[in-house]
Structure 1
Amino acid sequence: MTNIIAVSDEEIYIHNSNNKKFDLLICSGDLSPKYIDYLMNEFKPFFSVMVHGNHDKKYYKKYYEEENNSFSKVYKGVYVLNHSIVNLKKFMKKDIVLSGFSGALSYGFRPFYFKEKDINRFKREILFNTTFKGNRYRLIDIMVSHNPPYVKNTIKKYGQSHTPSKALGEFYIKAFPKIWIYGHIHPSYYFQELDFEIRYQNKISYLLNAVPYKLIKYDEEKKQVIEISTFKRCSPKKVMLK
């Protein structure tokens, strides 16, 4: 069993009052290095990973030096997946394949912003990664992005600066990870359902908003989500895709 805490966008100083063991901290962007350091000290995850949000550039004093498939020099102790994929067996005794894509859909520079065409490069990187060549996404347990993907019948209200990505949505359907974690859209912005249990071709995937945090129990052996909660247990809205 893998205990996961996923966070994004809003810095809520939550406490691990029961000293629960956490295996994995996942950050979906727009959080300060100071806050991530707090979470790492409070929850003591075995491994921490992140993608960048559109506001993270301010924490880099000079031009951005590529941090991808590597530990960050700014977010100390956190592994960055700007546009890549990794099997966590490399770092911990759990067979969990995790992929990440940074940024918000807008004009600007990677990794803090992206255009739809940038997803094509990302898909090629996944396809031709030597470890996963020939498997065509089938191995992804967890996908992490800052911007939400566009998936039919899920997120319905959003402003121009928070538009779900159609290209990420196409990747979602092809990859169909067990869990897709995203941020960028704050629940308080539009007051709508932002967590979904998506069923497609006899498969189940969970699209989960990490703002401000989600606690997830994941059985990496059975490849099943056991529980999702924040301050109480969550029941994501069910969506059937044809």
Structure 2
Amino acid sequence: MGLLAEGLLLPRELDPQAAPTLVLPLGAGPELWLVDTTAHRVQAARHAPGTLDAQELVRAAEFALAADRDSYVCAHVALRRLLGAYLGTAPREVVVERAPCSHCEEPHGRPVLPGGALHFSLSHCTGISLLAFATAPVGADVEELIRPDVIADTADVLHPREAAEIALLPAVERPLAFTRVWTRKEAYLKGLGVGLSGDPAADYVGSGPRPSDPPDWKVSDVRAPRGHCAAVALRTG
């Protein structure tokens, strides 16, 4: 995806009901899609039985809150339709496996496709899902702006330089800076395949307007709806 003037990657918006039916080309950079899971929850629920696999349908039924269930269903219907479009196959026929765990090597790591020709990442918060696809390992994250009281309790999860940068800011600017660095960090950790089981404080990605790239990775901010931050990390090494 191309960079916008303000340095943000621009995701395409996806209606899960009208997801692409043709094979999509995949460029060298990450392909990003944004889904409004509130607006499309009814259509996604209607398509779910013929799109999701048996395990996903069971998982959806386990959610106690309807809003969580709707978000999961909509995001995963969109994911399968896009995977089908990139791979040229029916969405329900796409085989999604689990990578070996980074700690115990058992198959309960991040979702992957056999063969490794296509990599993907999915993130969602209330009402929004962000999906990323690439030919190399990729991670994506989208978050609502984090509350000031949460920032005070979680500053120790940041790299010391990042924590120092945020501490120097006026209080009114800290929620945006903290959320910005956190989405970059979580996208990077998801790309590595370790998620939050890794040490968020170990690597510096920066809290300023431009990300800092860890070795062998490119981290970019993604344009998100007002009140949110989003980021994507792509392995380049």
TM-score by length of 2: 0.28
* Larger-gyration structure (1/2): 2
The structure richer in helix per residue is 2
| Between structures 1 and 2, the one with greater strand share | 1
